[in-house]
Amino acid sequence: MTQTKLPGDRDMWIMVLGDMTVFAGYFVVYMLYRSWNHQEFLVAQQHLNITIGVVNTVVLVTSSWLVARSVQATRAGDIEQALALVLSGGVGGVLFMVLKGYEWASKITAGHTNSDMFYSFYYVITGVHLVHVLIGLIVLGVVVRELRNPARRRAQMVEIGATYWHMVDLLWVIIFALFYVMR
């Protein structure tokens, strides 16, 4: 029987699992309102920019991949590589935020605001997600500090940060499916 290992630490998993549960609650409420206003939601949904949605998803998934590779590099002792990967992952996060900001701006100026029920869900849920991305950038910042300090460089700290970052990616993948694509 192979050894199992808990990545990161228990506290971060409490955070991640709890956060996933709260978001699941939001998703279920969204789905309920969607089923009660199906036609209205379909009409509103078609104004979403699918291309930006796909690009943003690829950006975040790639950033997640870079952070995952960074964990592996830390374990292998290649700190320079690990740093480069985490920083690149962080750039992905910033890019995501910029694209999301542009997307919001273009939707709002086109008149799709909170007054439309679909968009009220869209802005709140992607907004909460965006706050998570922002927190994630702070978390990655802490990981960078950890890696830069020769006295630390604990693999577990990098794992903890990575676990949080992957959760941000995971939630977005679901948001993409529920808001941009499904009909």
Partner 1 sequence: MTTTNNRDVQWMTWFFPAWYAVFGVIICLLTRVTPPPRPDVTAVDKVAFFAQHHTTIQIGFVLLLILLGGAALTNGLVCYQIKRMSVGSVFAYGYIGGMSVGALPGFLLVTVCFLTAAYRPDRNPELISLLYDLGMLSYNGSLGCFTAAYLVLAIAILYDRNEVFPKWFAYVSIWQIITEVIATQMFVFPSGPFAWNGSIAFWLAVVVFSIWLGALIMLLRAAAAKEAAQ
Partner 2 sequence: MTSESRRTTWVWAALVVLTVGTGWLAPAAHTAHITVASLPITVLVLVLAVIKSRLIIRYFMEVRTAPRWLQLTTDAWLAALFGAIMVIYLV
Contact predicate 62/93, CB 8 Å: no
Tokens in use for 43? 């009409």
Tokens in use for 110? 């086109």
**Binding window for partner 1 (CB under 8 A); candidates: 58-66, 80-88, 119-127, 144-152:** 119-127
> DSSP for 20-84?
HHHHHHHHHHHHHHHHHTHHHHHHHHTTS-HHHHHHHHHHHHHHHHHHHHHHHHHHTT-HHHHHH
Contact predicate 168/133, CB 8 Å: yes
Q: Which is nearer to partner 1, 77 or 101 (CB)?
A: 101
> Given the rule CB under 8 A, which residues bind partner 2?
2, 4-7, 13, 17, 20-21, 24, 27-28, 31-32, 34-35, 38, 42-43, 45-48, 50-51, 53-54, 57-58, 61-62, 64-65, 67-69, 71-72, 76, 159, 162-163, 166-167, 169-170, 173-174, 176-178, 180-183
> Given the rule CB under 8 A, which residues bind partner 1?
9-12, 14-15, 18-19, 22, 25-26, 29, 33, 114, 117, 120-121, 124, 127-128, 131-132, 135
